[in-house]
């Protein structure tokens, strides 16, 4: 049995423990082919004591994801306990037991389980910060003893049942509850699953042999991976490779030099940097071959950022002259590069857009010549560059848009010992909203503890994934180099326990509509074991199901006002659809009489939800995002 840490541990103590635990052994992935017994042992080691007969089933099985595997565990345990009642239980206790076992099956069908935000290995979590209870906690809540479940969570959120029963304060009330409801302590220990880190990160295709700096989405779920490496998934490449969904392949003879940014325009791939195939700062792949050119002429041409807006490729960079560097932005229309009027007093590190206008972020604070203040973020309007909103305190490294037009900015978290913005957003109004203003425990890399920063952003629904060089903690919530912010100030989910910074993020959709997040960086370990420089995780809430498992498909996703449902077959009598929020609470319930239905979701707050079809058989939820 693993040692656990009580919830009362300080954030700094837990952060130190996390950093020491990064070499934890890799887990058996739910998608891996293995005997059912081996999968169940992964969820709960009590299987070897409670029902070792399952070990006789040797045919390999696999699960679509961790939630499906935990649900299978709970169903199997419930079925066994129905036919093996606890000895010497009173008739009233046995009746309570049977009712709660039915509740356990319903809980398993819902498929929404606690998230382990604290530890980089599988461990119980009694109630997570979102209010989702573990199986044992949910049984207590269903029986009217929420106070007991919450007191357990307050005192020993991460403890195993055996440890809880040994507690002088928690043990007696837990034992009394178990006896009253027809369970033994061993049975509760068997029910209690362990939960992997909130997001399981595994090497994408075997990873690369050097740092990844750039990730680009291509049509058809392919991803361009670029950085400083000579091998991707064992395939010989030169700093750039194509992930086609199943493996890596080289793009021609690759690109030499230092790659720092990229963009896709039509069928062409552009990579920017310096010393590319000589002294060039831009490389272009036209589907057949690479060509190289110089955008910023000078002694040392460099491209820092690329962005496509209205079919125009923009490049931010630097021209070195005898008088020093000039920092500005160029636009490519046809075959001609044209400078946008105005030079910045420091480099532009990223480009984005807002309301159809080009946005620049970086280390600058003013325009050269006129003294116009542009505090780290500016947009190009009818009169040239102007400060966007009220500006930001600190260099900006990344920009990302959500579907509703919100612009997120990520950048420096510290200037020496002075906290900076870290992560902010701006909507239709004139003011930036700081999203991590009160989290003082920002930690950079071990070699540069003061250089905590967000380096990359990936929008997801109404929120954003932020990757970079930081450990961010709030209470017992800890994330290493990756966090998810749902758009509410100071509300975030730790995304990973990477051992080194994240440089690039990109979402990728599989054939069933399941969304993965791909991360590239300087790291070699993720939350689930080795992940050399390139990792992938499935993101979302609960079970992501394809139509055969759920019985329906939904669109659009993300959605804003309406959600359209198409059933695989005609519904039976009493069929209905339920919409559950992230805590598993029913927020909408609609009867369904035809194969198609439309749900009005205008009144729902922005966030993550799931839809469940109740049609006389096991229900599997499908996740969606409400804008």
Q: Where are the alpha helices (DSSP H) in 339-478?
A: none
Residue with the bigger pLDDT between 597 and 83: it is 83
Residue 73 lies in a domain: yes
Residue 617 lies in a domain: yes
Rounded average pLDDT over 142-170:
93
pLDDT at 160: 94
Rounded average pLDDT over 60-80:
91
- Provide the sign of the torsion angle of the four alpha carbons 164, 168, 169, 174, taken in this order: positive
Which whole-number Å values give the CA distances from 435 to 59, 425, 475, 553, in the listed order?
A: 49, 7, 17, 34
With a cut of 70, say whether residue 462 has pLDDT above it: no
With a cut of 70, say whether residue 233 has pLDDT above it: yes
Write out the two tokens for 143.
């029986």
pLDDT at 529: 72
Query: How many CA atoms are closer than 13 Å to the CA of 544, on its beta-carbon side?
Result: 20
pLDDT at 153: 92
> Pick from 191, 218, 244: which residue ends a domain?
191
The most confident of 150-164, 398-412, 416-430, by mean pLDDT: 150-164
Q: In total, how many domains does the chain have?
A: 2
pLDDT at 520: 98
pLDDT at 514: 46
Rounded average pLDDT over 13-32:
47
Calculate the average pLDDT of the chain.
84
DSSP-derived 3-state class of residue 68: helix
With a cut of 70, say whether residue 382 has pLDDT above it: yes
pLDDT at 558: 61
pLDDT at 627: 63
User: 406-437: per-residue pLDDT in tens?
Assistant: 899 999 887 766 778 899 999 888 999 998 76
Domain that holds residue 554: 547-626
The most confident of 56-60, 433-437, 537-541, by mean pLDDT: 56-60
Domain CATH code at residue 621: 2.60.40.3080
pLDDT at 179: 95
With a cut of 50, say whether residue 26 has pLDDT above it: no
Q: What CA–CA distance (Å, rounded) separates 91 from 88?
A: 9
Residue 311 lies in a domain: no
Rounded average pLDDT over 292-320:
94
Least trusted range by pLDDT, from 196-210, 334-348, 607-621: 607-621
Say if CB 309 and CB 331 are below 8 A apart: no
With a cut of 60, say whether residue 24 has pLDDT above it: no
pLDDT at 438: 62
- Determine how β-strand 463-474 pairs with β-strand 477-485: antiparallel
DSSP-derived 3-state class of residue 395: coil
Residue with the bigger pLDDT between 463 and 302: it is 302
* Backbone Cα Rg of the chain: 26
Residue with the bigger pLDDT between 155 and 625: it is 155
Q: How confident is residue 533, by pLDDT bands cut at 50, 70 and 90?
A: very high
Least trusted range by pLDDT, from 131-145, 280-294, 444-458, 572-586: 444-458
With a cut of 60, say whether residue 262 has pLDDT above it: yes
Q: Which residues contact 125 (CB under 8 A, 6 or more apart)?
A: 114, 115, 116, 117, 118, 134, 157, 158, 195
The most confident of 18-32, 111-125, 177-191, 398-412, by mean pLDDT: 177-191
pLDDT at 624: 74
Residue with the bigger pLDDT between 154 and 74: it is 74
> Considering the entire predicted model, what is its pTM?
0.67
pLDDT at 181: 96
pLDDT at 122: 84
Q: Could you give the percent of the chain with pLDDT greater than 90?
A: 53
The most confident of 41-55, 348-362, 448-462, 597-611, by mean pLDDT: 348-362
CA max distance for the chain:
92
Residue 482 lies in a domain: no
User: 478-490: per-residue pLDDT in tens?
Assistant: 678 998 887 777 7
Q: Which residues contact 24 (CB under 8 A, 6 or more apart)?
A: 120, 121, 529
Rounded average pLDDT over 103-113:
90
Residue with the bigger pLDDT between 619 and 303: it is 303
> Pick from 191, 214, 241: which residue ends a domain?
191
Q: How confident is residue 391, by pLDDT bands cut at 50, 70 and 90?
A: very high
Residue with the bigger pLDDT between 130 and 175: it is 175
Residue 345 lies in a domain: no
Query: How many CA atoms are closer than 13 Å to the CA of 586, on its beta-carbon side?
Result: 11
Q: Could you give the percent of the chain with pLDDT greater than 70?
A: 83
Say if CB 343 and CB 328 are below 8 A apart: yes
pLDDT at 475: 52
Q: What CA–CA distance (Å, rounded) separates 304 from 360?
A: 11
Least trusted range by pLDDT, from 45-59, 205-219, 378-392, 528-542: 528-542
Residue with the bigger pLDDT between 91 and 595: it is 91
Residue 516 lies in a domain: no
Q: How confident is residue 492, by pLDDT bands cut at 50, 70 and 90?
A: confident
pLDDT at 82: 95
pLDDT at 617: 59
With a cut of 70, say whether residue 161 has pLDDT above it: yes
Least trusted range by pLDDT, from 197-206, 496-505, 530-539: 197-206
Residue 413 lies in a domain: no
**Cα 255–chain centre separation:** 30
pLDDT at 541: 32
pLDDT at 15: 35
Rounded average pLDDT over 48-62:
90
Residue 61 lies in a domain: yes
Least trusted range by pLDDT, from 28-42, 528-542, 548-562: 548-562
Say if CB 401 and CB 414 are below 8 A apart: no
User: 506-532: per-residue pLDDT in tens?
Assistant: 987 544 344 688 999 999 987 667 899
With a cut of 60, say whether residue 439 has pLDDT above it: no
> Pick from 158, 191, 224: which residue ends a domain?
191
User: 175-230: per-residue pLDDT in tens?
Assistant: 999 999 999 999 999 999 998 876 778 899 999 999 999 999 987 678 999 999 99
pLDDT at 605: 81
């Amino acid at each position: 049995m693993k040692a656990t840490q009580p919830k009362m541990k300080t954030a700094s103590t837990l952060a130190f423990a996390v950093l020491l635990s990064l070499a934890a052994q890799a887990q058996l992935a739910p998608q891996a082919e293995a005997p059912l017994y081996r999968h169940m042992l992964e969820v709960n080691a009590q299987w070897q004591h409670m029902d070792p007969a399952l070990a006789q089933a040797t045919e390999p099985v696999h699960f679509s994801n961790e939630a499906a595997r935990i649900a299978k565990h709970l169903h199997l345990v419930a079925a066994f306990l129905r036919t093996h009642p606890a000895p010497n239980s009173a008739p009233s206790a046995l009746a309570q037991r049977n009712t709660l076992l039915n509740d356990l099956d319903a809980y398993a069908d819902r498929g929404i389980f606690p998230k382990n935000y604290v530890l980089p290995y599988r461990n119980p979590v009694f109630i997570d910060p979102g209010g989702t209870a573990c199986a044992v906690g949910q049984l207590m809540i269903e029986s009217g003893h929420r106070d007991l479940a919450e007191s357990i969570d307050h005192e020993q959120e991460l403890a195993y049942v055996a440890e809880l029963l040994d507690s002088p304060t928690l043990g007696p009330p837990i034992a009394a509850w178990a006896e009253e409801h027809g369970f033994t302590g061993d049975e509760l220990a068997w029910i209690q699953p362990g939960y992997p880190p909130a997001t399981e990160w595994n090497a994408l295709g075997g990873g690369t042999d050097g740092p990844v700096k750039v990730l680009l989405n291509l049509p058809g779920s392919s991803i361009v991976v670029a950085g400083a490496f000579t091998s991707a998934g064992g395939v010989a490449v030169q700093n750039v490779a194509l992930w086609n969904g199943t493996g890596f392949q080289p793009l021609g003879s690759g690109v030499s030099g230092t790659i720092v940014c990229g963009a896709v325009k039509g069928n062409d791939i552009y990579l920017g940097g310096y010393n590319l195939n000589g002294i060039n700062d831009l490389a272009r792949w036209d589907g057949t071959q690479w060509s190289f050119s110089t955008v910023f002429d000078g002694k040392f041409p460099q491209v820092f950022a690329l962005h496509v807006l209205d079919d125009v490729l923009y490049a931010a960079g630097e021209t070195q002259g005898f008088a020093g560097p000039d920092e500005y932005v160029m636009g490519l229309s046809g075959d001609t590069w044209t400078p946008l009027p105005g030079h910045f007093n420091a480099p532009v590190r990223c480009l984005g857009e807002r309301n159809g206008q080009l946005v620049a972020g970086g280390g600058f604070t003013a325009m050269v010549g006129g003294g116009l203040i542009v505090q780290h973020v500016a947009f190009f309007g009818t009169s040239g560059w102007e400060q966007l909103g009220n500006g930001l305190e600190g260099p900006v490294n990344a920009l990302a848009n959500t579907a509703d037009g919100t612009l997120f900015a990520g950048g420096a978290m510290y200037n020496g010992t002075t906290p900076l913005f870290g992560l902010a957003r701006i909507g239709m109004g004139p003011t930036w909203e700081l999203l991590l203003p009160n989290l003082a425990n920002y930690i950079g890399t071990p070699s540069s503890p003061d250089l905590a920063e967000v380096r990359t952003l990936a929008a997801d629904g109404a929120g954003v994934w932020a990757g970079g060089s930081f450990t961010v903690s709030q209470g017992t919530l800890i994330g290493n180099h990756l966090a998810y912010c749902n758009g509410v100030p100071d509300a975030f989910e730790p995304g990973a326990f990477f051992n080194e910074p994240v440089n690039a993020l990109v979402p990728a959709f599989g054939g069933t509509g399941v969304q993965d997040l791909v991360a590239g960086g300087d790291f070699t370990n993720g939350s689930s074991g080795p992940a050399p420089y390139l990792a992938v995780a499935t993101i979302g809430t609960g079970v992501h199901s394809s139509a055969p498992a759920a019985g329906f498909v939904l669109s659009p996703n993300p959605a804003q006002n309406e959600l359209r449902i198409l059933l695989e077959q005609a519904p039976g009598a009493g069929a209905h659809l339920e919409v559950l929020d992230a805590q598993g609470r029913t927020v909408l319930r609609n009867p369904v009489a035809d194969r198609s239905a439309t749900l009005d979701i205008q009144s729902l707050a922005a966030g993550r939800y799931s839809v469940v079809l109740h049609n006389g058989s096991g229900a599997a939820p499908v996740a969606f995002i409400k804008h």
